[in-house]
Structure 1
Amino acid sequence: MMIDIDELANRIHADVFDVAKTGIPLGVFPNVFQKIAFELVNYENFNLEYTVAIMLSAFATAIGNTYHVRIKGKWVTACFLYMILVGRPGLGKTPPLSFLYFPIRDYDQRLLEQTRKEYEAYAQQQAVKKDGDVTEPIEKPRLMQTVISDFTQEAMLSIHYDNPRGIVLLVDEIVSLFNSVKRYSTKSNLIEDLLSAYSGQQLKAVRKSEVFPICIPHPCINLIGGIQTNLLDEIFRKEYVANGLTDRFLFVFPKNKKIPKWQIGIEQEKRPDTMSKWSYYINKVLNIPCPLSEDGITPQPIVLDFSEDARTYFYNWNNSIIEEVNGIEDDNEVESRKVKLNGNAARLALILQVMRWAAGECQMDCIDIISVKGAIQLIEYFEDSYKRVNALSGMDEPNRNQDRWLAMVGDTFTSSEAEQAGQKTGVSRRTVFSSLKRLCETTPPVLQKVKQGVYEKVVKRCTTALCTSALSDSSENGGEGKVQSADSAQEGGEDE
């Protein structure tokens, strides 16, 4: 059996760059896109995990409302992702964003030039119209944009109205997006619109210049941006967790935090034309038509169903999550995020199907089992990133104060005992259950769940664990934090 040269090269690069340690399932991508990713890592010093995640986002944006995927019955969704790139300063979140979204920005520039010419013709006709010209009137052209970065809620909806295919909110720092809610108006409905768009609900807004409100029947809004680890609490604010916005994001948090060194002498090498290759595939997707209904604003997408074996695989995977959730009796222990994974998994399957079609590996008549399996592997990667991000966001001072109840329970305890300890320290039941989940997911873990409703401390097996701050207040030890078990903390003794 002959081995594809690109496939062999990708295997070698995967070993060189320790892809297995990252946890990202690079094998779900066609070989041509793996090769592009490795070229960017090698020649541009891009982070591999950011690079392949942004590839997914860029493809989702290019697809837009041309194709939808049927998840189940009448449940059909457009192709979009809400994605956050997490990392320390200097790790390189912005460079791959700029590179991989360049073909779409270039596409926007071509649309702008075309609209300029159309507007000149429109303006000329308006000028001669006053002289009694009776030629058929030219409709006023609409400027179509795909990528927007600095905007108000009203501007976002206006741009999307003019571009029914879909838009992407691309921001270097995702925090600026959330801050814009307060910057422009305390009455901004931006967050509500993002929640509605994610659920496939139509969006409406009143423009000052229009008599009637604008209506976007099939919103398709992609969202991507970066955030530094020390700002994660802005994303995990109570209101965003409560309304489910945080649960809708896919997180990319590279395990390798080291900034790659610049390679001396690489400038003398003959570089592959990676941009031309990447642009070819993005433009191939951008050239897929997005027909509209007679009203000129409602997309008429092609809806792809799962193949029979793909549907069975997808349903079985989703049912395993449902069984897990159904097995939880206490509502406080149910993770709302888990029951939302199916939507993102279906969208990722659609994106992989289009990527494989663009690479000449499959047809676009359905979502096959290869794409579904790949999507589920990607979900597992993103969920691992989320757990590490969530644990990191819980390491602030307020959470340390909330975890004081932990010193009042034994090394093995029940959720009821935790709740009682919380009452004694003035911590609400809901906060206690939230802390139980967080302390199990932190790296390294403070707790482990032995069985339903029973937990065990792991501090004695991991002396550098986060529980140091949960069980011992450094200010009470002369400014020097000491690692303690629950029992020794109560007795004032040190854990050896």
Structure 2
Amino acid sequence: MNLNKEDSTELGKAHLTYGKLSIDQANIRLKQEGESEFPLGVFSKFIQDTILELYDNGNYNIDYTSVSVLTALAGIIGNSFHLRKHIEWCENPSMWVVLVGKSGQNKSAPLKTAFKAVKNQQKQFDKEYESAIANFDPDAGHKKPTKRKLYSTDPTFEALINMHKQNPNGLILMPDEFKSFILNLIGYSGGSKQSQFLSIWDGAPISLDRKEAESSSISMPCVSIIGSIQDDVIASFKAKDIKDGFFERILFAIPLKMEKKYIKRTNPNDYIIEQFHAQMKSFLDTVSENETTKELMLSEGAEELFITEINKHVKPSNKDSTISGILSKLDRYMLRFALVLEVSNCFFANKAIDKVSRDSMKSAIMLKDYFYANALKLNHMVLNVYEDNSKEGKVLRIIKKIGKKEFTNKEFIQIADQIGIAKESYAYQLLSNTKLAHKIQKGLYETDILN
């Protein structure tokens, strides 16, 4: 990436350009100092209070909780609201999100809290389905009950489409193991499922036609995804990227400090957390009543801000293809962020949901800055671990220890284990993905870095 200082300052500075901070905002900023750069001010105050309470007394990471709540709001809204930029450009609120951190960094608890309302509602749907099945009598001409799903953890692509048909408002996917889920679901072989899944992110119609089977189609797919992954594993995932834009569609939450925290003796305030869950349930219940899609437009002020911001992306995008790939997707995510914030913040403030306001677009730009910085951070992590010649490069350290231009995969795995970098499966993964060595023949590799 070849951004100079002048270009880089054009991006990521929205939090400095929108006026003075209130006392509450200043206190939040001080509390986040050195811990998180997530712009908490984009949320309604009760959400801010919940996130900080869980951080202060629950050992929750601010970034993980904030991004999880944002994705939960997007998943709840689904196809109930879209944002139409113009006649040919309409965005749904779906988001693909990954929490990046080290093992044991408490990534699962924020997810559990953020999606409690969704999971509780799913339990209710499951009970209703079981009751309906128990009373189902095909001989009496009853229509077979269908099971409504709000979320799933590991569906096949076909199952995903069928579940979406039963819940046109959309689905949330919460895989237990993000890397395995993505590889199993779409693979990296360039097959049709991969292109279809990319179409889902775009909100384009999906149709599956199978011989001797019922065809399945979704006219307005809306699927949000959220999962977690370890920081050393994400480099392997990135290395498999085939440059089709899939990786750029993912939003990454990467804390300033990727470290395990000491557990505090205090517990989160019950009232604050219960109020959060009650508000999220109310939001879910109200949105679930919508049977049609309401399209919002940008207000004049929001339109002006949006155009100004995406125009800032042109110069750095023209200079670097990697930057271009990231920003082109964030241009669209800005609209999705603004939609989610407008709908949710208006609901929680008991205001009419009409147009996307200038304030919502300001907040969306701040979110764009946050995720843009994390995308660059992730690229830097990948380069350090896999590709560059820095002393932190794992592959480089192993190859230098081997000390030969040609070596076998067995030698690589043995040395990786001896110097404590990786066990067999991960070592082989490192070797398969590295650009510092290439395969000559089966089991034999060559490197030029020792010349």
Normalized against structure 2, the TM-score is what? 0.76
Match of 1:203 in 2: 206
1:154 offset after TM fit, Å?
A: 1.4
Match of 1:308 in 2: 300
1:239-287 Cα distance to aligned partner (Å, 9 max, x none): x3411100001111001123221123x25xx832344222222222222
Answering whether residue 375 of structure 2 is matched by residue 386 of structure 1, we say yes
Q: Any residues of structure 2 matched to 1:52-451 within 5 Å, and which?
A: 52-121=66-135, 123-124=136-137, 126-127=138-139, 129=140, 137-181=141-185, 189-206=192-209, 211-238=213-240, 240-264=241-265, 266-267=266-267, 271-289=269-287, 300-326=292-318, 328=319, 335-360=324-349, 362-397=351-386, 399-400=387-388
Match of 2:7 in 1: none
- Counterpart of 1:337 in 2: which secondary structure? helix
Question: Following the alignment from structure 1 to structure 2, what is the Cα–Cα distance between the partners of residues 274 and 391?
Answer: 38
Aligned 8 A contact 2:97 2:251 in 1: yes
Aligned 8 A contact 1:94 1:172 in 2: no
Aligned 8 A contact 1:64 1:165 in 2: yes
1:59 offset after TM fit, Å?
A: 0.4
- Counterpart of 2:207 in 1: which secondary structure? strand
Q: Which letter maps to 1:337?
A: I
1:74 offset after TM fit, Å?
A: 2.2
1:155 offset after TM fit, Å?
A: 1.3
Aligned 8 A contact 1:291 1:301 in 2: no
Question: Following the alignment from structure 2 to structure 1, what is the Cα–Cα distance between the partners of residues 134 and 329?
Answer: 48
Question: Following the alignment from structure 1 to structure 2, what is the Cα–Cα distance between the partners of residues 243 and 175?
Answer: 17
Question: Following the alignment from structure 1 to structure 2, what is the Cα–Cα distance between the partners of residues 332 and 221?
Answer: 27
Question: Following the alignment from structure 1 to structure 2, what is the Cα–Cα distance between the partners of residues 282 and 190?
Answer: 33
Aligned 8 A contact 2:98 2:229 in 1: yes
Question: Following the alignment from structure 1 to structure 2, what is the Cα–Cα distance between the partners of residues 362 and 324?
Answer: 38
Aligned 8 A contact 2:102 2:259 in 1: no
Aligned 8 A contact 1:181 1:188 in 2: no
Q: Which letter maps to 1:384?
A: A
1:215 offset after TM fit, Å?
A: 0.7
- Counterpart of 2:301 in 1: which secondary structure? helix
Question: Following the alignment from structure 1 to structure 2, what is the Cα–Cα distance between the partners of residues 156 and 188?
Answer: 17
Q: Which letter maps to 1:351?
A: V
- Counterpart of 2:98 in 1: which secondary structure? strand
Aligned 8 A contact 1:281 1:358 in 2: no
CA, structure 1 residues 224+29, in 2 after alignment: closer, same or farther (shift >3 Å)?
A: same
1:25 offset after TM fit, Å?
A: 1.2
1:77 offset after TM fit, Å?
A: 1.4
Q: Any residues of structure 2 matched to 1:12-91 within 5 Å, and which?
A: 12=27, 14-15=29-30, 17-19=31-33, 22-91=36-105
Normalized against structure 1, the TM-score is what? 0.70
CA, structure 1 residues 332+107, in 2 after alignment: closer, same or farther (shift >3 Å)?
A: closer
Question: Following the alignment from structure 1 to structure 2, what is the Cα–Cα distance between the partners of residues 12 and 171?
Answer: 35
- Counterpart of 2:225 in 1: which secondary structure? strand
Match of 2:11 in 1: none
1:148-190 Cα distance to aligned partner (Å, 9 max, x none): 002211111111111111101102321121232489x979744
- Counterpart of 1:250 in 2: which secondary structure? strand
Question: Following the alignment from structure 2 to structure 1, what is the Cα–Cα distance between the partners of residues 186 and 293?
Answer: 35
Q: Which letter maps to 1:149?
A: T
Moved more, 193-202 or 331-340: 331-340
Q: Which letter maps to 1:144?
A: R
Question: Following the alignment from structure 2 to structure 1, what is the Cα–Cα distance between the partners of residues 247 and 103?
Answer: 22
- Counterpart of 1:224 in 2: which secondary structure? strand
Superposed CA RMSD in Å reads 3.4
Match of 2:3 in 1: none
Aligned 8 A contact 1:290 1:301 in 2: no
Question: Following the alignment from structure 1 to structure 2, what is the Cα–Cα distance between the partners of residues 180 and 305?
Answer: 38
1:379 offset after TM fit, Å?
A: 0.8
1:363 offset after TM fit, Å?
A: 3.0
Moved more, 214-223 or 198-207: 198-207
Q: Taking every aligned residue pair, what percent have the same amino acid on both sides? A: 23
Question: Following the alignment from structure 1 to structure 2, what is the Cα–Cα distance between the partners of residues 109 and 332?
Answer: 45
Question: Following the alignment from structure 1 to structure 2, what is the Cα–Cα distance between the partners of residues 144 and 13?
Answer: 40
Question: Following the alignment from structure 1 to structure 2, what is the Cα–Cα distance between the partners of residues 332 and 344?
Answer: 19
Question: Following the alignment from structure 1 to structure 2, what is the Cα–Cα distance between the partners of residues 234 and 178?
Answer: 13
1:112 offset after TM fit, Å?
A: 1.8
Q: Which runs of 5+ in 1 are unaligned?
A: 1-6, 130-136, 293-298, 404-445, 447-463, 480-496
Q: Which runs of 5+ in 2 are unaligned?
A: 1-21, 404-414, 416-451
Match of 1:443 in 2: none
1:223 offset after TM fit, Å?
A: 0.6
Aligned 8 A contact 1:65 1:164 in 2: yes
1:340 offset after TM fit, Å?
A: 1.9
Moved more, 385-394 or 170-179: 170-179
> If you compute each CA radius of gyration, which structure gives the higher value, 1 or 2?
1
1:12 offset after TM fit, Å?
A: 4.0
Aligned 8 A contact 2:117 2:284 in 1: no
Question: Following the alignment from structure 2 to structure 1, what is the Cα–Cα distance between the partners of residues 210 and 172?
Answer: 21
Question: Following the alignment from structure 2 to structure 1, what is the Cα–Cα distance between the partners of residues 270 and 23?
Answer: 17
Aligned 8 A contact 1:53 1:252 in 2: yes
CA, structure 1 residues 394+96, in 2 after alignment: closer, same or farther (shift >3 Å)?
A: same
Q: Which letter maps to 1:357?
A: C
Aligned residues: 385
Question: Following the alignment from structure 2 to structure 1, what is the Cα–Cα distance between the partners of residues 221 and 89?
Answer: 15
CA, structure 1 residues 158+48, in 2 after alignment: closer, same or farther (shift >3 Å)?
A: same
Question: Following the alignment from structure 1 to structure 2, what is the Cα–Cα distance between the partners of residues 187 and 345?
Answer: 28
Aligned 8 A contact 2:74 2:93 in 1: yes
CA, structure 1 residues 245+345, in 2 after alignment: closer, same or farther (shift >3 Å)?
A: same
Question: Following the alignment from structure 1 to structure 2, what is the Cα–Cα distance between the partners of residues 233 and 57?
Answer: 23
CA, structure 1 residues 157+19, in 2 after alignment: closer, same or farther (shift >3 Å)?
A: farther
